[in-house]
Amino acid sequence: MPFTYADLVSITLGAMYSPSSWPDLAVFLQELDTLTSPARAAASLRGLRQHLRLNGRAPYEQVLEGFAGVWCLDPINPDHPSAWARAAHRADRRDPYFGRPWIWFGSICAQWPGHDSDRYLGPFNRRTANTVLVVGTRNDPATRYQDAVSTSRLLGRGRLLTVAGSGHTSLFLSSCADAHVSRYLLTGRVPPDGTVCQVDEVPFAEPAATAQASAHAYLMPSALAQAQRD
């Protein structure tokens, strides 16, 4: 079974969610690049087989269903496939490689059977009883930091907490941010305006040898893994 361009985009997108996986991703991409060289393919193939851990299929997780349940019911979505195709094309021009997959992930909403009769569609600038804390990570690959900034300004009572790091969401990335969020949830207190929290760890701090040993534990796609077995 071939390893495709779509596989590469999907794996890279998934690995970008967590900076702790970046060293493994780097090793994986290097070995994948080596496999494209016939002169070194045999040696790399032996290395891949040594590191591969094939433990059978993982239990089924209802990630897609939960994702679609929110995406399809909260906003207003088009019900014609052509609208999603046009949106995917625009997204790919604006955000190459990763723009198109997000649109196609949501295209299931064109035929989603659920309906939420009391969803809230705005306005979102009304003054709330309490200040709404918005947390944004500067290099979030899935939810742009710029959107966190604009959302905090749109809200009638919004306060932005910035995490100077990478990865999707801020939970367990920064003890500083975790402390502010916990205080907010327990007492309603928001951090001072303009607060920026640093992350506790930075990518590639782990020794390269350790990263290489675990590179294939979860990044190796099933398609490529099967190809190595055949």
pLDDT tens across 69-118, in order? 888 998 888 888 889 999 999 998 988 888 888 888 888 888 888 888 88
Secondary structure letter of residue 196 according to DSSP:
E
Domain chopping of the chain, boundaries: 5-57+206-229, 74-111, 132-198
Q: pLDDT grade, residue 23 (50/70/90)?
A: confident
Dihedral Cα 67, 72, 73, 75, nearest 10 deg = 110
- What's the mean per-residue pLDDT of the chain? 79
Average pLDDT over residues 6-23: 82
Q: pLDDT grade, residue 217 (50/70/90)?
A: very low
Burial 71-92 (b: 16+ CB within 10 A, else e): bbeeeebeeeeeebeebbeebe
25-68 pLDDT tens trace: 787 778 777 776 655 545 544 544 444 444 344 566 677 788 88
pTM: 0.72
